[in-house]
Amino acid sequence: MTLYIEANKRGGYLFGDLTKGGRRATPDEAMRLAGEQENGIPVGLTRCPTCSQWRGECFDTDPNFVRSVMRVHCRCDNDSLCARCLSPLYERKLNANYFDETDGRIWHVPGFSAFGHTCTGS
């Protein structure tokens, strides 16, 4: 991957999906996903029984994305693997979101996070 990056290096910068893959809620979702659970976690998220992280669909906690439904993935959902060595391309699923309980925000993992992968295959 490093050779690709060096061969295609240009000035500028990269953007991920600035909408974080969100979409407008349907009327049913607007009612079902409104509010927070007693623990302050957005309605629609549940703990994964394997890794204990949050997953599901909920409204984004960012005021810039009011009423946007976001799909949230736990670490177990990371199926973004290198075709050669089968190792994860990044610590989380690419082009996906996760909920960070410490700051109460939904974070997006852009696909270009995979550029840091070092293949261990031969």
Whole-angstrom distance between the N-terminal and C-terminal Cα of the chain?
14
| pLDDT value of position 4 | 66
| pLDDT value of position 87 | 94
> What tens-digit pLDDT sequence spans the chain (122 residues)?
567 667 777 766 656 556 787 889 999 999 999 999 999 999 999 999 999 999 999 999 888 888 899 999 999 999 999 999 999 999 999 999 999 999 999 999 999 899 999 998 76
Q: Which residues are CB-contacts of 105 (< 8 A; sequence separation ≥ 6)?
A: 61, 62, 99
